[in-house]
Amino acid sequence: MAVVDKVEGETGEEAGLRQPLETAVVRFAGDSGDGVQLTGSLFTLSTALAHHDLATFPDFPAEIRAPAGTTYGVSAFQIHFGGREIRTIGDRPDVLVALNPAALKVNLGDLRPGTVVILDVGSFTERNLRKAGFTEDPREDGSLDPFRVVALDISGLTRRAVADTGLTSREQLRCKNFFALGLVFWMFDRELGPVIEWTRQKFGRKPALCEANIAALKAGHALGETAELPQLPAFQVPPASIAPGLYRAVTGSEALAFGLLDGARKAGLQLTFCSYPITPASPLLHVLARLRGYGVTTFQAEDEIAAVCAAIGASYAGALGVTSSSGPGISLKSEAIGLAVMTELPLVIVNTQRAGPSTGMPTKTEQSDLLQALYGRNGDAPIVVLAAASPADCFTMAREAVRIAVGHMTPVMLLSDGFLANAAEPWKIPDLDTLPAFPVRFRTDPEGFAPYARDERLVRPWVRPGTPGLQHRIGGLEKQHETGEVSYDPENHQRMTDLRWNKVLAVAEDIPEQTLEQGDPGDRVCVVGWGSTYGPISRAVTTRRRRGEKVAHLHLRHLWPLPRNLGRLLSGFEKILVPEMNKGQLVHLLRSQYLVPAMGLSKVSGRPFAVAELEQALDRLSEERP
């Protein structure tokens, strides 16, 4: 995040030169009705076409449509892009576009000296200032002095630019996001062509609105080009060296959906996806509901319990049963997940974690369901637990969840979170045909069949009802070894408990050994992460390593069972730091498993770690050096 340093004090296009920047963070913010999310998407498209690497994150308000002008009605979209690999959405914006006072208000705390702040002062009416909670006009009380404020009447300029398009005054105003976008396009030297084309495709059915938006876009761009605004910098961001191929943007929700679909196909199964709406898990259901022509049946159940039970029923019947939820909904599924453990059926449970406890902050992100994933059921009921590290990684880990569930006849919980679900990144579209397949072989041979007989990996056979001669009964009561009949025999219960335990542990033989993302086993410090902390940890470790510090980054995607070499690997480090968006859950597991003095770094604010926070923690560790 050394970006701002470089631009401080410079003005735009002095002597016709654009200011070089390695990476930049732009945040668009405005009222829910201001079209901020669309603006963000278009800027993302343009950024991708400019061959930058990038990461984006939308920040929706918790309320559906909060009253206009309020702080809790602010919608934002952040993009981090540049000429190197982008791993986070950026700690703080270099450029903030604030389309109303409330948008300025809620973002003020995130700005640093020198941040470029583009304000639509056309919206800075007294009423709006009051609604936003300003007692004084921030433009006048000096609170904006540290920033490079570009104060423009974007509302007015937009109205003028689209005056001839036949729109009502209210409709005209709704083009102001395109005006702002045009201006930012100029700042980053972007082509307008592709975005204009895309806009025509998207809004083609409303030609007046479409052309007005384009006019506003062009006007914004022209303003940058022609008006000499001393505070308005012009940047030059180099293209990143990106592996060649065809790309698209994916959110974690999309990637997860695609991964489940591909996983089911590679297993040779129909996907039966059973869920109940809940923030931020719903988008996964929405994406899949639109893809019902691609081999998925989606089922919106009456509640989360019915959803998981239907998924179990589907798996029992020989499809791939998947269920998905978040927070309270995952809690409700606890009992039924135990049933899947006992019946030893494949089941994928996607947990898009959100800030808790209880209803908590549904639209905010957190990683605080790890221990629940591991232990949140009655009895000793082990399941496999996985976590995706980035939006695109959701594709890979969804496939992995399917592979393990069907290969080991076990429930697998895949942990995502609110950040991953909504964040987007460029994704090199894989050639699905070349990805490994893991076809299921249903048991069909009655000869010697026993429903709870096991193979060498302790896996029992999967039988599709309808198969002649293999009729049998399963259920949640303790099962007799091999026969699967109900049993209250003490020795058998011990044996079966051990078998269920060891069966899940045996998955460790079927997953890769743990490797380091960066660094070597001989380094002094190891930062151990899991899930969506990947980006910030990775960036922080890279920075420190550049400075010559012996810091490694280890990132867990398999959380239970843990990779078989993990204990060995960890024992080599002097210090182990475990940053988590919870009160210390993975660190708890690692300490117990390996008796290593791992230290937690906890952040529970509903927001991802900032790179700077991790660097500070590493600094504190270094200071501790004897």
Ligand X SMILES: Cc1ncc(C[n+]2csc(CCOP(=O)(O)OP(=O)(O)O)c2C)c(N)n1
Give residues in contact with ligand SF4 (CB under 6 A): 64-65
Taking the complex as a whole, the smallest distance from the CB of residue 553 to another protein amounts, in Å, to: 26
375 part of the interface to another protein, by CB under 8 A = no
CB-wise, 106 or 402, nearer to its own copies? 106
CB-wise, 332 or 474, nearer to ligand X? 332
Supply 603's token pair: 């952040």
Taking the complex as a whole, the smallest distance from the CB of residue 65 to its own copies amounts, in Å, to: 16
Single residue of 14, 65, 568, 595 touching another protein by CB under 8 A: 65
Using CB distances below 5 to 8 A depending on partner kind, what does residue 285 bind out of another protein, ligand SF4, ligand X, none?
another protein
CB-wise, 64 or 243, nearer to ligand SF4? 64
Single residue of 294, 438, 442, 594 touching another protein by CB under 8 A: 294
CB-wise, 328 or 430, nearer to ligand X? 328
Burial class of 255 by CB neighbour count within 10 A (0 to 12, 13 to 18, 19+) = buried
* Distance from the Cα of residue 180 to its chain's centroid: 27
Taking the complex as a whole, the smallest distance from the CB of residue 537 to its own copies amounts, in Å, to: 19
Taking the complex as a whole, the smallest distance from the CB of residue 63 to ligand SF4 amounts, in Å, to: 8
What gap in Å lies between CA 483 and CA 474, rounded to an integer?
10
Strand partners, 602: 580
Supply 225's token pair: 């080009």
Q: Which residue type is seen at 421?
A: A
Cα atoms found within 13 Å of the Cα of residue 30, Cβ hemisphere only: 28
422 part of the interface to another protein, by CB under 8 A = no
306 part of the interface to another protein, by CB under 8 A = yes
CB-wise, 109 or 468, nearer to another protein? 468
What gap in Å lies between CA 363 and CA 62, rounded to an integer?
6
Burial class of 454 by CB neighbour count within 10 A (0 to 12, 13 to 18, 19+) = middle
What gap in Å lies between CA 367 and CA 369, rounded to an integer?
6
Residues 575-587 as b/e (b if ≥16 CB within 10 A, e otherwise) read bbbbbbbbebbbb
596 part of the interface to another protein, by CB under 8 A = no
Supply 163's token pair: 């005056």
Taking the complex as a whole, the smallest distance from the CB of residue 331 to its own copies amounts, in Å, to: 4
Using CB distances below 5 to 8 A depending on partner kind, what does residue 65 bind out of ligand X, its own copies, ligand SF4, none?
ligand SF4
Taking the complex as a whole, the smallest distance from the CB of residue 61 to ligand SF4 amounts, in Å, to: 12
What gap in Å lies between CA 508 and CA 474, rounded to an integer?
27
Using CB distances below 5 to 8 A depending on partner kind, what does residue 572 bind out of its own copies, another protein, ligand SF4, none?
none
At CB < 8 A and 24+ separation, what contacts does 439-445 make? 439/266, 439/267, 439/268, 440/267, 440/268, 440/269, 440/406, 442/318, 442/467, 443/467, 443/470, 444/470
CB-wise, 393 or 615, nearer to another protein? 393
Using CB distances below 5 to 8 A depending on partner kind, what does residue 378 bind out of ligand X, its own copies, ligand SF4, none?
its own copies
What gap in Å lies between CA 282 and CA 274, rounded to an integer?
11
Residue 125: count other Cβ atoms within 10 Å of its Cβ.
Answer: 13
247 part of the interface to another protein, by CB under 8 A = yes
Q: Are 411 and 377 in contact (CB under 8 A)?
A: no
Taking the complex as a whole, the smallest distance from the CB of residue 515 to another protein amounts, in Å, to: 26
198 part of the interface to another protein, by CB under 8 A = yes
User: Which is it for strands 575-580 and 599-602: parallel, antiparallel or unpaired?
Assistant: parallel
Q: Which helix (H) or strand (E) holds 119?
A: strand 116-120
Where along the sequence are the contacts to ligand X (CB under 6 A)? Answer: 276-278, 304, 328-329, 332, 359
Supply 584's token pair: 């210390």
CB-wise, 74 or 618, nearer to ligand SF4? 74
For residue 439, what are the CA distances in angstroms to 442, 507, 589? 9, 17, 33
Taking the complex as a whole, the smallest distance from the CB of residue 102 to ligand SF4 amounts, in Å, to: 19
Residue 358: count other Cβ atoms within 10 Å of its Cβ.
Answer: 7
* Tokens 């992100």 belong to residue: 365
180 part of the interface to another protein, by CB under 8 A = no
What gap in Å lies between CA 205 and CA 520, rounded to an integer?
57
Q: What are phi and psi of 487, to 5 degrees?
A: -145, 135
379 part of the interface to another protein, by CB under 8 A = no
436 part of the interface to another protein, by CB under 8 A = no
CB-wise, 212 or 312, nearer to ligand X? 312
Strand partners, 275: 300, 324
Cα atoms found within 13 Å of the Cα of residue 493, Cβ hemisphere only: 10
Single residue of 17, 208, 227, 429 touching another protein by CB under 8 A: 429
CB-wise, 74 or 339, nearer to ligand X? 339
Where along the sequence are the contacts to its own copies (CB under 8 A)? Answer: 62, 72, 326-328, 330-332, 334-335, 338-339, 341-343, 353, 355-361, 363-364, 366, 368-369, 371-372, 374-381, 475-478, 488, 490-491, 493-494, 497-498, 500-501, 582-583, 588-589, 591-592, 595, 597, 603-607
- Residue closest to ligand SF4, measured at CB: 64
Using CB distances below 5 to 8 A depending on partner kind, what does residue 500 bind out of its own copies, another protein, ligand X, none?
its own copies
Using CB distances below 5 to 8 A depending on partner kind, what does residue 247 bind out of its own copies, another protein, ligand SF4, none?
another protein
What gap in Å lies between CA 613 and CA 485, rounded to an integer?
55
Taking the complex as a whole, the smallest distance from the CB of residue 312 to ligand X amounts, in Å, to: 15
Taking the complex as a whole, the smallest distance from the CB of residue 328 to ligand X amounts, in Å, to: 4
361 part of the interface to another protein, by CB under 8 A = no
CB-wise, 99 or 381, nearer to ligand X? 381
